[in-house]
Amino acid sequence: MKKLIQFVLENRFLMVLIGVIIIGTGYYSYKNLPLDALPEITPPVVRVYTITEGLAPEEVEQLVTYPVEVAMAGLPNIAELRSISTFGLSIVNVFFDDGTDIYFARQLVNERLQEASRQIPEGYGTPEMGPIATVLGLVMFYYLEDESETYSLEELRTIQDWMIKPILRTIPGVTEVISVGGYEKQFQVIVQPDALLRYEISLNEIIEKIQTNNSNVGAQYIIKNAEEFTVRSIGLVNSMDDLGKIVIKSVDGTPVFLNDLAEIGIGGEIRRGLQTRNGEKEVVAGQIVKLFGTNSSVIIERVEEKLTEINDMLPDGVKMVPYYEQKTLVNASLSTVTNALIQGIMLVILVLILFLSDIRSSLVVAFSIPFSLLFSLVGMSYFGISANLMSLSGLAIAIGLLVDDSIVIVENISRILREKDPLKSKIQIIIDACVEIFQPVVFSTLIIILVFIPLLTIQGVEGRTFEPLAYTVILALISSLFYAIFIGPALSHFLLPNLPFEEKNKISFGQKFQDYLIKLYKPIVSYFVSFPRVSVIITLVFLFIGAIIFPRLGSEFTPEMNEGTTIVTVQMAPSISLEESKRLAMLVEKRLMNIPEIEEVVTVMGTGEVGGEYMPINMGDIYINYKPKTQWNIPLSKDGIEDKIREKLASVPGVVISLTQPIKMLTDELIEGVRGDLAIKLFGNDLEKLKAQGDNIARVLGNISGAADVQVEQTVGSPQLVIQIDRQAIARYGINVSDVQEVVRSAIGGVTAGQVFEGIQRFNILVRFPEKYRGSKEAIENILITSSMGAVLPLSELAHIREVVGPRQISRKNNQRFITIQCNVSNRDIGSFVEEARENLKNEIKLPAGYFTEWGGQYKLQQEANKKLIVIVPIILIIILSLLFLNFHSLKNSLLIILNIPLALVGGVVALWLTNQNLSVPSSIGFIALFGIALENGMVLLTYLNQLVKEGVSVEEASISGAKMRLRPVLMTALTTALGLLPLLFATGTGSEVQRPLATVVVGGLVTSTILTLLVIPALYKWFSDELK
């Protein structure tokens, strides 16, 4: 150890150089670190989408989802396979184990996709992977403003799809642009059923004719004289006219054109989503998805740069207007943390100057802050941790801790420099000073690092949310230790004044202050040392107070972060049509616009292009942008406005409203399904039975005391019109099932018969019957079908047509259908509730063969976490104890130190209570940090006391004078830590909500633990000292 320090000092130039290099690298890392609002909380997941036009959920599941799932099963590192089959769309989510490389995962999925597409029947779509992005990858939303009001929704969508999108997609980091709203332009061939009869033509023939009359070919080249001419034949349909001129049939030389059979027009494709704005009109919009692992704010900046360029290029009057940007949040939360960091650093430096009363040593110590921060950044970029609210919070928490090691070392160096005889060389003195204090410094830092380790074992979204915080704290502490050992001593040599210590005589303000403190402290500590029982009583009183207050604290998961944007989620009846949901959404928007503080509202109903978040058409998100706060009428808070919104929307019939925020919504969706304390997944095959048994389970659960909010997942509720083909009837007429179904598919649903090219833009050609002949049950019954023998029959002769209520969507997990029954538990211990529930279910419900339940939810997460913690926590504690033991070679001493912990906790609890905050994840992290911090003070003090006793001072005397001598470093480390956090206590910016409880706990805990360290440890020292034998 001595050798190490000696080496450091002998190579001090090298050490400083290394320091400079690290600072440089740190700055470089800082410039290149990805910035995000929140840490990446999604597990590696690859989404496979398959669009299957017009199929109902059952068919989607059977024909598409199942083959995809089967193909994916058995891939390595798969954690879970979940799927949703809904009208016209199949989504299979392949979850991989945490830490799987996303590109590797995608490659695996891609290989199997080939196999899956072969298994999917022809014409039912091709499975495709979603964008390389995560849930929080939707960084910017915009809509197209048409001031001229001359463009139709189809035209605007064409502008979006063919002008804006290709440009945006070229921006590095943008992986996908998802269009929502408006209508995709298509050429519609509306075939008159009468005409089919008249000309004896089937729809299929028309589709074939369109396909065979729409192509360009190349025919190599010809040589004319010495020149080469490329030969091409042009036969592509370019316009409605071209389309109309396609000859379908020729009778006696009289051509029958498509025009004669059908009306050809331009219309919008069938859509499952739309956007509206301000209750005024529909808009066309886009969502920008960033590439996995890229820097959100940089991408948004790049998009904004392009924005003016794009707007110049767009037709007059059309503008691209962003209405939600994650950047605002990223910047706001980063600036909150950065401000806190800067203020914290200032405060810490102030304390240093005050206590060290020496600019030079303060400088040596203060340098450790930028060094450690930048070194941590190097670590972050090495380990791929992005700069986000959580990781930066970790740094903010660590500020005060960063200087602790250096304070202790530098303080010791300067103390010894003042006292020791000038015979020793400066280097020697520094080495001695460092060695003396080296062990407790290393050990106390190690202990703080150790207590953060269990945080890394928490699973799920919570774990991933707070993991970066634990990592950065650990990184920062390691950096500060590195500084204290390698750079600090070297810098001390350069910066601290030469012997003899001149400043001894000058009495600075800081010195006066300290003398005053010591004068104040000495009688108190003497009293306590004389009457140790008093300190025991005080300790017990403190503990008692803590024990009383602790149960009174409320609890919550994470305090809600104010993101600046409010989202009103609307939910309507599952059977609603898109047009009706649009009408209702616009009425809701109109009401919102009546609130004067609201600037703009934009609603997304349903789902736009595939690749974004999937929402059924009965659901929507209303984004609310507020006017600048200065324009708010009354001094309203955001909460106040949200109350106003709730009030306004309370009376909207048929719409369920809830308020959330963009990122909160996305993260909530991630943990959806396990939101309840208890989630029972019932697996089985028959949807009806699942529903019935699910209701049974819900009933049994509801009867158990403590059950609250029991809910069965709504799986049914979509009306269907089922055309069941009567096999006897078709047998009589000699018609095939496919003959009927072809007509059903193309006449009612419409069939794409190729594309029309307009330059590079391409639009589908849709062949379909007019609305009048397919728009109602009656009309569908009357659709005529021609048999091969020439009989013309209405569909109702060949099939039973009936209206039923079918499934909305079919959810599957690991190849099994399931529904979820959720339940919360109140006023009761969840473990016993689950036990009772299991017992009751077993007795009361007999599940059919093949049906089974899986118990999950928050309860399961807790159980799993507890299982791990029960092993990890004692191990960590034992390691801490052995570290303490190693340091002191005394179990008693170690115990005395550990006594600090409960006292620190009491302070944290009281602080939370006084500031009216709840127990939450951040505050519990604060408690965890306290464990380590509280120990540090005690260790520094006790080491010195032991040393004094060793030197022959009596225990009592040592207790008093030792405490007096150590007042300065103890107070300093405590104050720097507390003041480093102080800005977080008073910050009001975005993200401060999350950091405040943490800071509160640490500051509160420090206050009690420092007071008690200074009074209780000296008092009890004699009982815990080993030196009495």
Partner 1 sequence: MNKTIISTAIITALLTFFFTRMYYVSVEIIHTENHEESNHESEQNFSQELLDEFGIVVETASGGILERTIELPGEIQIDPDRLAHITPRFDGVVQKVFKQIGDTVKKDDLLAVIESNESLTTYELRSSIDGIVLDMHFTKGETAQRPDHFFAVADLSEVWVNLSVYQKYLSQIKMGQTVNMIFSSDDQPEKGQISYISPTLDEQTRTAMARVILKNNELKFRPGQFITGQVIVDNTYCDLIVPKTALETVNDKPVIFTVDEHGIEPKIVTIGKKNHKSVEIVSGLTLGQTFVQKGGFVLKAEFAKESFGGGHNH
By CB under 8 A, what part of segment 841-860 binds partner 1?
858
Residue 613 binds partner 1, judged by CB under 8 A:
yes
Is residue 20 within 8 A of residue 501, CB to CB? The reply is no
By CB under 8 A, what part of segment 375-404 binds partner 1?
none
Of the listed pieces 272-280, 397-405, 457-465, 479-487, which binds partner 1 according to CB under 8 A?
457-465
Among 359, 507, 548, 891, binds partner 1 (CB under 8 A): 891
Of the listed pieces 142-150, 338-346, 507-515, 650-658, which binds partner 1 according to CB under 8 A?
650-658
Residue 363 binds partner 1, judged by CB under 8 A:
no
Among 67, 460, 750, 938, binds partner 1 (CB under 8 A): 460
Q: How far is the CB of 560 from partner 1 (least distance, A)?
A: 9
Q: Which is nearer to partner 1, 967 or 1002 (CB)?
A: 1002
Is residue 283 within 8 A of residue 602, CB to CB? The reply is yes
According to DSSP, the β-strands at 707-712 and 78-86 are unpaired
By CB under 8 A, what part of segment 539-578 binds partner 1?
554-557, 569, 571-574, 576
Q: How far is the CB of 718 from partner 1 (least distance, A)?
A: 11
Q: How far is the CB of 398 from partner 1 (least distance, A)?
A: 19
Q: How many CA atoms, within 13 angstroms, populate the side-chain half-sphere of residue 845?
A: 24
Is residue 913 within 8 A of residue 553, CB to CB? The reply is yes
By CB under 8 A, what part of segment 227-246 binds partner 1?
none
Among 121, 172, 523, 654, binds partner 1 (CB under 8 A): 654
Q: How far is the CB of 750 from partner 1 (least distance, A)?
A: 20
Q: Which is nearer to partner 1, 520 or 656 (CB)?
A: 656
* 887-894 long-range contacts, CB within 8 A, separation 24+: 887/439, 887/440, 887/443, 887/939, 887/943, 888/942, 888/943, 888/946, 889/1026, 890/1026, 892/1023, 892/1024, 892/1025, 892/1026, 893/942, 893/946, 893/1024, 893/1025, 893/1026
According to DSSP, the β-strands at 318-325 and 138-146 are antiparallel
By CB under 8 A, what part of segment 7-66 binds partner 1?
none
Determine the size of the site formed for partner 1 (CB under 8 A): 102
Q: How far is the CB of 928 from partner 1 (least distance, A)?
A: 6
Is residue 651 within 8 A of residue 567, CB to CB? The reply is no
Site string for partner 1, 172-211 (x = CB under 8 A): ----------------------x--xx-------------
Of the listed pieces 459-467, 742-750, 759-767, 945-953, which binds partner 1 according to CB under 8 A?
459-467
Q: Which is nearer to partner 1, 91 or 975 (CB)?
A: 91
Of the listed pieces 15-23, 69-77, 495-503, 900-908, which binds partner 1 according to CB under 8 A?
900-908
Q: Which is nearer to partner 1, 408 or 615 (CB)?
A: 615
**What is the spatial distance between Cα 692 and Cα 698, in angstroms, rounded to a whole number?**
10
Among 49, 375, 482, 614, binds partner 1 (CB under 8 A): 614
Element (DSSP H or E) covering residue 792: strand 792-794
Angstrom CA distances, 40 to 136, 560, 999, 1019, stand at 8, 18, 23, 49
Residue 870 binds partner 1, judged by CB under 8 A:
yes
Q: Which is nearer to partner 1, 433 or 837 (CB)?
A: 837
Of the listed pieces 141-149, 429-437, 666-674, 684-692, which binds partner 1 according to CB under 8 A?
666-674
Is residue 207 within 8 A of residue 749, CB to CB? The reply is no
Among 168, 392, 615, 942, binds partner 1 (CB under 8 A): 615
Residue 772 binds partner 1, judged by CB under 8 A:
yes
Is residue 903 within 8 A of residue 1008, CB to CB? The reply is yes
Q: How far is the CB of 75 from partner 1 (least distance, A)?
A: 24
Tell me, what DSSP letter sits at residue 269? P
**What is the spatial distance between Cα 206 and Cα 248, in angstroms, rounded to a whole number?**
6
By CB under 8 A, what part of segment 812-841 binds partner 1?
822, 824, 826
Q: How far is the CB of 980 from partner 1 (least distance, A)?
A: 22
Residue by residue, DSSP assigns 117-149 as HHHSPTTS---EE--S--GGGEEEEEEEEESS-
Which residue's structure tokens are 């014409």? 123
Is residue 25 within 8 A of residue 378, CB to CB? The reply is yes
Q: Which amino acid is at 358?
A: D
From 590, 703, 699, 596, select the one nearest 640 (Cα to Cα): 596
By CB under 8 A, what part of segment 712-741 binds partner 1?
712-714, 717, 719, 732-733
**What is the spatial distance between Cα 285 and Cα 486, in angstroms, rounded to a whole number?**
56
SS (H, E, C) 947-979: HHHHCCCCHHHHHHHHHHHHHHHHHHHHHHHHH
Cis status, amide bond into 454, omega within 30 of 0:
no
Residue 869 binds partner 1, judged by CB under 8 A:
yes
Q: How far is the CB of 516 from partner 1 (least distance, A)?
A: 37
Q: Which is nearer to partner 1, 483 or 683 (CB)?
A: 683
By CB under 8 A, what part of segment 676-695 binds partner 1?
677
Q: How far is the CB of 39 from partner 1 (least distance, A)?
A: 15
Which residue's structure tokens are 């158990």? 704
Is residue 107 within 8 A of residue 96, CB to CB? The reply is no
Structure tokens at 828: 């009761």
Q: How far is the CB of 879 from partner 1 (least distance, A)?
A: 11
Site string for partner 1, 912-931 (x = CB under 8 A): -------xxx-xxx-xx--x
By CB under 8 A, what part of segment 789-808 binds partner 1?
789-794, 796-797, 805
Angstrom CA distances, 834 to 113, 627, 848, 864, stand at 40, 48, 22, 15
